[in-house]
Amino acid sequence: MIIFQPDRILMRNQIKKYAHYVKGDVLDVGAGPFDRYSDLFRFSKYIKLDPCPDNNPDIAASAEKIPLGDNSVDSIVCTQVLGDIWNLKGAISEFFRVLKSGGNVILTESLMAAMHDEPHDFWRFTDFSLRRLFEENGFDILHIERRGGFFASTAQNIIRYFIDRLDLYKNFSGKILSPFISAFGRLMLWLDRLDKSKAGMRQSMGWCVVAVKK
C-alpha cells in the first residue's frame, strides 16, 4: 500500500527533471532498502551503497568512508540521506574524491520534516547551507531548487502526522483513508502551485541540489 505524500511526489518530479545529469557509472549513496529512482536515469552501472547490510546494497559502507578509488564514478545520487550523517563535510569530501572530473551530484534534503531514524536524525538544511557545504568542498552549484511551499508543507505535515499517529501503513484504516488523503494532498499541491508569494515560498519542505566536480 502506498499513501500519498506531497514530499515524495515533488521529490520524484525534481529528480526526474534533473535526471539527464546522471550518466555512466552511478553511485547511489544511502540507497536504503528500495530502488526508488534508478528507473529515471540512463546509466552504464548503478551501484547502491548503504551502511546497513540488511538493505542488500552492492557496497555496505558509510557515506563518510566510501570504499572506492579516486575518480571512480561518473555520477552520485543521494536522496534524503545527508540529514542523517553527523560528519557532513566528510561525506561531501568523499563525494568529491570518488567522482570523476566533470561528474555530477544530485542530492535532495529537507528543511521541514518529521523526526525520523532516531537517534540518527541530525540536520535540516536551507539552500544557503547546502550551497556553502558543496562550494567549500570543491563543487560548482548548477541548480538549487525549492521543493514545495506553504500548502505542500502543511499537507505533508498533516498527512505524516496521521500516518504515524494511526500507524496507517500497518493497519486496515490506511486502505480506507488512502483515497481521502490522496484527494486532500492533490488539492493542496494545486493550491501550492497557485501561491507565488514570498511568504508561501519561505515554507519550503526542502531542496534539490545539482552540483558538478570542478
Q: Tell me the pLDDT of the chain (214 aa) as tens digits.
A: 789 999 999 999 999 999 999 999 999 999 999 888 999 999 999 999 999 999 999 999 999 999 999 999 999 999 999 999 999 999 999 999 999 999 999 999 999 999 988 999 999 999 999 999 999 999 999 999 999 999 999 999 999 999 999 999 998 899 999 999 999 999 999 999 999 999 999 999 999 999 999 8
Angle at 82 (CA atoms; ends 104, 6), nearest 5 degrees: 90
CA gap 131, 139 in Å, rounded: 9
Q: What is the rounded distance in angstroms from the CA atom of residue 155 to the CA atom of residue 160?
A: 8
> What is the C-alpha separation between 164 and 160, in angstroms, rounded?
6
pTM greater than 0.85:
yes
